[in-house]
């Protein structure tokens, strides 16, 4: 085994493997930093290049890219409050508030340090614990995987807001949304409203970008502020060196979370999706002072970043050893394994062990290289936090809507993104945490499959008595208990957070939203009655608790609204105050701009509609001159043509313009410049 360990290292440093590794790292930095791209897109783009390559160079390229996206995705999470990938959801809770305090560089310093440590530690621990891995993986069957998903939802629901009930309700809503489209067991479509777009599930990327990106970017536009609310140079302890020191101060937390990431990452299907929340929950519950979490506590960055990088090595094991891909990314890597002539199975842990170790070493080296590179570059990236908001808004909107388009190249993706932007705005202003919805949407299909297999294999609900299931149920109860205890202490001592996810208090927005959710759950329950039991069972898992939670919330929100009316004197005054506090007029105007862009796109196409939005926004909203506005718009058009069209070869929406422009263009002028 030791011989294979070092042989794998030497193979990575041989040419051309090391060259491909560095190429993969550079590509991964870009893909992880841009919202909507990420490692999956990178694997899809790079997979064809694996044909004809030797195994070690092929995986140096693929894993070099894939491993670093969970480090560079921190940039979007910290700077914009947008989860760069599913693995960086928890980072936004404290990373984005740090950027708003002018401490983005500090967040980067801590994140990149522990990311490198987590990736290296996870891979090395994995290497020495290979003999122990088989019984651990085999002990987690469908019942345990289902309950592990419930644990992840309980953690995110109870830890990412000022109300546990609202967090758990949003998690139930996400589970319900995950059931849109065909059921897992029988080909009966659910909740698809007769549209082909929804018949194959609700796409994740437009939902995530709409929920998180649009509300945050809209605030920059309406308030005309930079990401940082503190002027450059005035943020105390905001430098990168301070972040690196934080990583060493909290080395014990980083170590524990790296262990969590390594072993949770091995679990097929769930590991990478929930590990950052498990680590974040551990950080909160193990901390003596919990008051700053969600408001810019550096520990809230260190914990998830140490854990999510450690999962990359762990997720490889079920893929190469058993042919069980734990996620879409590892499914593509499984395809690459077959393409280069390797067969997943016990041979990868015996005769081909040196190849497996070369993959582990690739992850180790890629994590070290990307941490060093990003530390050099991120000081410049952190300066973006101090740029005028109007200069950031149009560029980010371009990436957001093109990121949404990558999901399925459908008009429905843009409509979903805009709709979820409205929902995200109401949730943010109404005090509803958004992360539980996204995590539930990610886990929903996996949990339904595990649930149905468990019910069929164990003659009903007998699987609930399995030992590991009982342990996980106890962990769920402990998580909710300590979260409730913490919130009770905060309210008792008047220390309730006023900033962070799910902490805003606007009953006039929250109460109508509660009514809408109640109607939605009730309608879904009535709709589910027409389906066979195997099709309706899983939606009911979301509907029944959702209705129970929402009834309590309606009472609390109703009482809060009545108290606010008494305080302000009339409901008209409450609406006026809330409108001013939540900047409703500006929000309506901004959504109007985005809606107009979508409508104009139907006529002139995306290659002109997005640059036109940039031009119009900068001229009318940002009050910039024609020179700057035209230059910015031209840069957006060039990016659309050069990257999204000629590099990624996207399918574009067939606009009215695309039907007659090719006929009038001269033969020497390429039509791809316009349609």
Determine the 3-state secondary structure of 450 from DSSP: helix
Give residue 596's pLDDT: 94
> How far is the C-alpha of 107 from the C-alpha of 111, rounded, in Å?
6
Helices (H) and strands (E) in the chain, counts: 29, 2
d(CA 661, CA 440): 44
Q: Quick one: DSSP state of residue 47?
A: G
Q: Which backbone phi and psi does 182 adopt, to 5 degrees?
A: -65, 140
360 vs 126: CA distance, rounded Å = 8
> Global pTM?
0.78
550-559 CB contacts, 8 Å cutoff, 24+ apart:
550/169, 550/514, 550/517, 550/518, 550/521, 551/518, 552/165, 553/163, 553/165, 553/166, 553/169, 553/510, 553/514, 554/511, 554/514, 554/515, 554/518, 556/165, 557/507, 557/510, 557/511, 557/514, 558/507, 558/511
Res 613: pLDDT: 94
User: DSSP E strands: which ranges in 81-125?
Assistant: none
Which pLDDT belongs to residue 491?
Answer: 67
Positive or negative, the Cα torsion across 540, 542, 545, 546?
A: negative
pLDDT at 16: 86
DSSP string, 254-271: HHHHHHHHHHHTTSTTTH
- Rounded distance, CA 55 to CA 326, Å? 21
Residue 229 CA to residue 192 CA, distance in Å, equals 42
Helix/strand/coil for 181? strand
Q: Which helix (H) or strand (E) holds 671?
A: none
Tell me whether strands 181-182 and 189-190 are parallel, antiparallel or unpaired. Answer: antiparallel
What is the distance between the alpha carbons of residues 409 and 103, in angstroms, rounded to a whole number? Answer: 37
What DSSP line would sit under 388-407, residue for residue?
-HHHHHHHHHHHHHHHHHTT
Task: List, as one string, the DSSP characters of 153-171.
Answer: HHHHHHHSSS-HHHHHHHH
**What's the confidence (pLDDT) of residue 173?**
93
Round to whole Å and give the CA distance between 601 and 654. 10
> For residue 188, what are the contacts with CB-CB under 8 A and spacing of at least 6?
182, 531, 532, 535
Task: Write the CB contacts of 13 (distance below 8 Å, at least 6 apart in sequence).
Answer: none
SS3 content of the chain, % helix, strand, coil (to 5): 75, 0, 25
HSE value, Cβ hemisphere, 13 Å, CA-based, for 231: 1
Q: Residue 651 — φ and ψ, nearest 5°?
A: -85, 130
Distance CA(28)–CA(367), nearest Å, equals 11
Contact 367, 70 (CB under 8 A): no
Q: What pLDDT does residue 271 have? A: 58
CB 285 within 8 A of CB 482: yes
Alpha helices in 224-345 (DSSP H): 240-249, 251-264, 271-286, 299-322, 328-339
pLDDT computed for residue 383 by the predictor: 67
pLDDT of residue 59: 82
Cβ partners under 8 Å of residue 218, min gap 6: 421, 425, 586, 587, 590, 591
Counting as low any pLDDT under 70, the low residues of the chain are 1-2, 34-41, 44-45, 48, 83-88, 126-138, 159-162, 225-238, 267-273, 312-314, 317-319, 321-332, 344-350, 378-386, 407, 490-502
pLDDT in tens, 630-665: 999 999 999 999 888 887 788 898 888 888 877 777
User: What local confidence, expressed as pLDDT, does residue 25 receive?
Assistant: 86
Question: Is it true that the peptide bond before 69 is cis, omega within 30 degrees of 0?
Answer: no
- What pLDDT, on a 0 to 100 scale, did the predictor assign at position 358? 82
Distance CA 307, CA 261 (A): 4
Angle between helices 214-223 and 411-430 (to 10 degrees): 70
């Amino acid at each position: 085994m030791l011989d294979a360990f070092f042989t794998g290292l030497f193979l990575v440093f041989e040419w051309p493997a090391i060259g491909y590794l560095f190429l993969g790292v550079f590509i991964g930095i870009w893909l992880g930093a841009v919202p909507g791209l990420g490692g999956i897109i990178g694997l899809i783009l790079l997979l064809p290049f694996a044909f004809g390559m030797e195994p070690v160079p092929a995986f140096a390229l693929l894993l070099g890219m894939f491993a670093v996206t969970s480090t560079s995705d921190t940039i979007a999470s910290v700077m914009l409050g947008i989860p760069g990938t599913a693995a960086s959801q928890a980072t936004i809770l404290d990373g984005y508030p740090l950027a708003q305090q002018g401490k983005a560089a500090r967040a980067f310093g801590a994140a990149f340090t522990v990311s490198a440590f987590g990736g290296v530690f996870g891979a090395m621990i994995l290497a020495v614990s290979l003999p122990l891995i088989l019984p651990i993986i085999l002990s987690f069957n469908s019942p345990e995987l289902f309950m592990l998903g419930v644990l992840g939802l309980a953690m995110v629901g109870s830890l990412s807001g000022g109300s546990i009930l609202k967090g758990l309700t949003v998690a139930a809503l996400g589970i319900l949304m995950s059931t849109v489209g065909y059921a897992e067991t029988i080909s009966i479509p659910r909740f698809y409203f007769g549209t082909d777009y929804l018949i194959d599930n609700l796409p994740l990327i437009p939902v995530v970008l709409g929920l998180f990106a649009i509300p945050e970017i809209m605030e920059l536009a309406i308030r005309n502020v930079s990401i940082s609310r503190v002027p450059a140079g005035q943020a105390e302890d905001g430098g990168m060196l301070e972040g690196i020191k934080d990583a060493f101060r909290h080395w014990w937390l980083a170590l524990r979370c790296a262990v969590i990431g390594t072993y949770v990452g091995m679990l097929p299907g769930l590991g990478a999706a929930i590990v950052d929340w498990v680590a974040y929950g551990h950080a909160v519950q193990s901390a003596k002072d919990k008051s700053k979490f969600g408001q810019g506590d550096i520990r809230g960055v260190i914990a998830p970043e140490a854990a999510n990088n450690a999962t990359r090595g762990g997720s490889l094991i079920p893929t190469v050893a058993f042919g069980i891909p734990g996620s879409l990314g590892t499914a593509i890597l499984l395809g690459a394994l077959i393409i280069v002539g390797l067969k997943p199975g016990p041979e990868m842990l015996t005769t081909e062990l040196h190849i497996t170790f070369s993959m582990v070493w690739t992850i180790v080296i890629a994590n070290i290289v990307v941490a060093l590179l990003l530390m050099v570059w991120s000081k410049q990236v952190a300066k973006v936090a101090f740029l005028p908001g109007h200069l950031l808004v149009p560029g980010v909107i371009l990436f957001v809507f093109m990121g949404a388009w990558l999901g399925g190249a459908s008009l429905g993706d843009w409509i979903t993104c805009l709709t979820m932007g409205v929902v995200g705005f109401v949730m943010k202003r109404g005090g509803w945490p958004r992360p539980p919805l996204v995590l539930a949407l990610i886990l929903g299909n996996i949990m339904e499959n595990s649930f149905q297999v468990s019910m069929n294999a164990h003659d009903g609900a007998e699987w609930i008595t399995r030992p590991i299931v009982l342990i996980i149920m106890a962990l769920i109860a402990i998580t909710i208990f300590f979260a409730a205890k913490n919130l009770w202490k905060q309210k008792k001592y008047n220390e309730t957070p006023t900033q962070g996810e799910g902490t805003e208090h606007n009953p006039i927005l929250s109460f109508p939203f509660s009514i809408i959710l109640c109607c939605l759950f009730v309608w879904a329950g009535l709709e589910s009655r027409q389906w066979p039991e195997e099709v309706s069972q899983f939606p009911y898992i979301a509907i029944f608790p959702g209705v129970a939670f929402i009834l309590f919330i309606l009472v609390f929100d109703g009482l809060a609204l009545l108290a606010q009316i008494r305080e302000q004197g009339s409901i008209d005054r409450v609406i006026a105050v809330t409108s001013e506090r939540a900047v409703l007029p500006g929000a309506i105007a901004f959504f109007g701009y985005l809606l107009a862009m979508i409508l104009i796109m139907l006529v002139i196409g995306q290659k002109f509609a997005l640059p036109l939005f940039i031009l119009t926004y900068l001229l009318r909203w940002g009050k910039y001159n024609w020179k700057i506005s035209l230059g910015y718009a031209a840069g957006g058009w060039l990016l659309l043509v050069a990257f999204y069209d000629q590099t990624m070869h996207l399918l574009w929406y067939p606009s009215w313009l695309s039907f007659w422009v090719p006929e009038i263009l001269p033969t020497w002028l390429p039509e791809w410049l316009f349609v």
